[in-house]
Chain A
Amino acid sequence: MTLTCFSREDLRSYLLGELPDAASDRVAAHLEACSVCEATVAALDREADTVIEALRQPAATEEPASAYRLAARRAAAHWPTAACEAVGAGSGQRLRDYELLEPLARGGMGTVYRARHVRLNRPVALKVLPERWLRDPAAVSRFEREMQAVGSLQHPSIVQATDGGEVNGVHFLVMELIEGVDCGTLATCRRTCARLSTGCCRGQRTGAPSRWSGSPRCSRRGVSRSGCLIWSGRPPRFAGRSPSNQPSASCPRARRPGGPPHHQPRGRNAGKECVGSWPLA
């Protein structure tokens, strides 16, 4: 029991639940034995603040709008994914059999995480469709098509998709994890961004083998700089987006003397060679 009496303000704070736990317990114990403080607190019984006044108002019974209900369901379902983006390494967030470890890259169509298949203990790259796109059926459909397109491709220069699916409305695509740097990072580091982006990576010259071009699932886009992965001593590999359906050439092959005409750089890059950061296949 505390012998010293509490101030009127302390007692008021106690009644309104504004004191920390320990201080509140001290006041409660003191009140059991102090008639002076009990008289003070009795006089404060009717004190109210914003919270109490708000609770005394009649409760509204308005039915929430259907748009609200739908949005609330989506927000509840997709929060874990969004939270993972904030947590970073070691979050331990699970998506089915995969433990998300850290975000590797973010783009318009998704965030790619370093992840681990918990049963196989295998590191993977896991791409998640951003929450904002889930409101757009066309975007979800495009993501599904991308999963199918990537899943149907098999080539040493393409990052392999190994799994895909949906958990609580969260769409994801699992790919092999490639250690290295992407073309965008490399370009920034070497201050050769302009040449790379126009000559190699931006420019619809993705080195697609001819058998890709016949696939109806191969769509219209090229490969972004961040989708082109480079690591020491091996050919670049492409990830993230479906390859172009145009017969085209990767940087190394495009630079190879004597290659087929459609593998040669065109336009303002005609006759140019890429900077030597691209290991030849």
Chain B
Amino acid sequence: MSLEPQSDPSSQGTSPTLLARVRANDALAWREFVHLYGPLIFSWGRRAGLADQDAADVMQDVFLAVARAIRQFDPELRGRFRGWLWTITRNKIRDHHRHTASEAQGYGGDTAWRSLCELPEEWNDHGSDAARQEVGALCRRALQLIRRDFAPHTWSAFWLAVVEGRSTDEIASELGLSPNGVRQAKSRVLRRLRAELGDTP
């Protein structure tokens, strides 16, 4: 992690989430959003049988569609943001296959058709090992984005508890915090991470 922690939301209030800033047309948020979700969308495209260049094209199309529609995204109706993003990506992949097939008849044949059929209708974080790895990588990128919002001790407690899986008592002793302080730190960062990823109900 290269970003230095600067503040703690416990004392200064929770800063707006990435999605909120994207909706507000924050230019920096646009770039962070691309950094956060670009690899995931690209990976989805590759797993759907697209070549690097085609997956990159689909990724751009997805971002374009998201930019146009993100203000209409309603978590209560659409569920998690990842699920909504997957729906857009799946449609763009299908559009791409259709477009390619219409340009060159017979393109891909059974392979392309099989790839299309294998695309699940809904995204599932547990769907496969690859899906779990993609979600892990997404979470790590999101952590990079939110780390600056937490004080060092909060961040350390979270990291040791969640990523390294160490016991609460051990962390409390090491950092000079109470066990409840460790749990609170873990809870705060996880809550912020979920909000950043659009997982908050």
> A interface vs B, CB < 8 Å?
14-21, 24, 28, 31-32, 38, 41-42, 45, 50-57, 59-60, 64-68, 70-72, 74-76, 78-80, 82-83, 85-87, 91-93, 131-132, 135
1/0 per position for B105-142, CB-CB distance to A under 8 A?
Answer: 00000000000000000000110000011011111100
Known: A41-B183, A56-B163, A86-B71. Is A67-B136 also a contact (CB below 8 A)? no
> Which one, B35, B67, B168, contacts A42 given CB within 8 A?
B168
Report the Cα distance A43→B47, complex, angstroms.
39
The residue on A at minimum CB distance from B134 is A54
Determine the residue in chain A with the shortest Cβ distance to B194.
Answer: A17
Task: Give the distance in Å from the alpha carbon of A71 to the alpha carbon of B191 in the complex.
Answer: 31
Q: Tell me whether B132 and A82 are in contact (CB under 8 A).
A: no
B42's contact among A21, A54, A68, by CB below 8 Å, is which?
A68
Determine the interface band of chain B, counting residues with CB < 8 A from chain A.
35 or more
Q: Is the CB of A71 within 8 A of B56?
A: yes
The answer to whether A53 and B132 have CB atoms under 8 Å apart is: yes
On whether the beta carbons of B191 and A52 are closer than 8 Å, the reply is no
Contacts of B27 in A (CB 8 A): 80
Answer yes or no: B18 CB below 8 A from chain A CBs: no
Listed A/B pairs (15) with beta-carbon separation below 8 Å: A17-B188, A17-B189, A17-B194, A18-B201, A51-B135, A51-B139, A52-B190, A59-B136, A72-B59, A76-B35, A79-B67, A82-B67, A82-B68, A83-B30, A85-B67
| Known contacts A42-B168, A51-B135, A64-B42; A31/B63 CB under 8 A | no
Q: List chain B residues, Cβ under 8 A from A56.
A: 162-163, 165
B199 touches A28 (CB 8 A): no
Given A28-B180, A31-B180, 5 more A-B residue pairs with CB atoms under 8 Å apart are: A24-B187, A52-B162, A55-B140, A60-B136, A132-B64
Query: Is B186 a contact of A17 with CB atoms below 8 Å?
Result: yes
Give chain A nearest CB distance to B53 CB in angstroms: 5
The 3 closest A-B CB pairs, nearest first, are A17-B190, A71-B56, A17-B191
B15-58 interface bits toward A, Cβ cutoff 8 Å, 1 = contact, 0 = none: 00000000001010011011100110010000000001101110
A51 near B34 with CB under 8 A, answer no
Closest Cβ–Cβ distance, residue A205 to chain B (whole Å): 33
From the candidates B56, B138, B191, name the one contacting A65 in the complex (CB within 8 A): B56
Contacts of B190 in A (CB 8 A): 16-18, 51-52
